[in-house]
Amino acid sequence: MILDNIVPFGRSKAEYELMFALTESDRQKTIIGIGDGPASFNAEMTAAGYQVTSIDPIYQFTGAEIKSRFDACVDGIIEQVIKSPSNWIWKYHKSPADLQANREKAIALFLEDYEQGKSASRYLKAELPRLDFADQQFQLALCSHFLFLYSAHLSLEFHLDSIRELCRIAEEVRIFPILTLAQERSPYLDTVRESLAKDGITSEIIQVAYELQRGGNQMIIFKNYRTYGKSTN
């Protein structure tokens, strides 16, 4: 993986809670964050006594390397946001400057926790579409701003393999948003849902109380009713 190709922008626990409509009972589950990057979700959840494992290929890099990549992209991204005012809803973040401040706060919290979290195996270098976890090891998998968002860069095949893999390792999988970077509904959505339904994986689209990309206020939940590694006797 080349760090220059990725945008290490991370969201906070409060944003994850809104994007994924997390209830107190959800927070108490064993959670895996997929492509968590420099989000502060894991750090904040751990500090609050919950159990989160995060995987991301960028965890092969040091905190200093991740921060320097963030510093190299942040101004350019905020400039793009300012130049496309009709694409954004200023509800949770009050303005482009507030968005930048919130992203800086998230990466700062992540970096404070990163070394300790790595030692505790809470930040693991791993990447979709294959993950080295046992069947149904987690109760809940959360994937924010990776699958569906990068539909222009990642194939339909990649999405199908990845979501099947997530349904293998977790009882329930939530993905947000279902829009692409071009603010359109992912062209893969219907095919993925139809194809996975044939494997016994159900899906449901839910409206949530978080919207930054205009129209990006829905998450999708996948659930697999097959039994994994369990005796059928």
Binding site for ligand SAM (CB under 6 A): 6-11, 34-37, 39, 56-58, 127-128, 144-146
Q: Output the smallest distance, CB 7 to ligand SAM, in A.
A: 6
H-helix or E-strand containing 124? Answer: strand 123-124
Q: Output the smallest distance, CB 5 to ligand SAM, in A.
A: 9
Q: Which residues pair with 34 in a beta bridge?
A: 55, 143
Q: Output the smallest distance, CB 233 to ligand SAM, in A.
A: 36
Contact 211, 89 (CB under 8 A): yes
- From the list 92, 136, 103, the residue with the least C-alpha distance to 37 is 103
Nearer to ligand SAM, 7 or 89 (CB): 7
Buried b (16+ CB within 10 A) or exposed e, 124-155: bebbbeebebeebbbebbbbbbbbbbebeebe
Q: In whole angstroms, how far apart are CA 67 and each of 14, 114, 124, 146?
A: 21, 12, 18, 19
Q: Output the smallest distance, CB 8 to ligand SAM, in A.
A: 6
Q: Is the dihedral of CA 77, 81, 84, 87 positive or negative?
A: positive
Nearer to ligand SAM, 176 or 224 (CB): 176
**CA-CA distance, 12 to 24, in Å (whole number)?**
17
Nearer to ligand SAM, 3 or 171 (CB): 3
Nearer to ligand SAM, 8 or 117 (CB): 8
Residue nearest to ligand SAM (CB): 37
Nearer to ligand SAM, 34 or 192 (CB): 34
Nearer to ligand SAM, 152 or 197 (CB): 152
Amino acid of residue 176: F
Q: Output the smallest distance, CB 231 to ligand SAM, in A.
A: 32
H-helix or E-strand containing 34? Answer: strand 31-34
Q: Output the smallest distance, CB 147 to ligand SAM, in A.
A: 9
